[in-house]
Amino acid sequence: MSKVMISLQEEFLRDLDTIARAEHRSRSELVREAIRTYVVTRVGPGSTPRADARRAAARILKTRLRLPAGETAESMVRRLRDTRYGAGWKSSSSTPR
């Protein structure tokens, strides 16, 4: 099992601990159940990767996104990465040979 670090406000954490104690469960068990519940309600109980991809594609197509004139998807991704991480985000190991 992997460990994940998350940040919570102190008051929220106290409430979480109170619920966990009342239900005789660990904090981790309570958080795992909350995430499981979220995923099932968000994705759906009978979902498959293919069905999820189809729904995601349908949502994207409904937005009718248009690229700015003269820009490709690749150039847009590069520009956004440069804006977010600076031009130094490219490493020599990721450059195609």
Domain boundaries, the chain: 8-49
DSSP states of the chain: ---------HHHHHHHHHHHHHTT--HHHHHHHHHHHHHHHHH-TT--HHHHHHHHHHHHHHHT--PPTT--HHHHHHHHHHHHH-GGG--GGGS--
pLDDT at 64: 65
Contact between 67 and 73 under an 8 Å Cβ cutoff? The reply is yes
pLDDT by residue (tens digit) across 16-72? 999 999 988 999 999 988 888 877 777 666 677 777 777 777 777 677 667 778 888
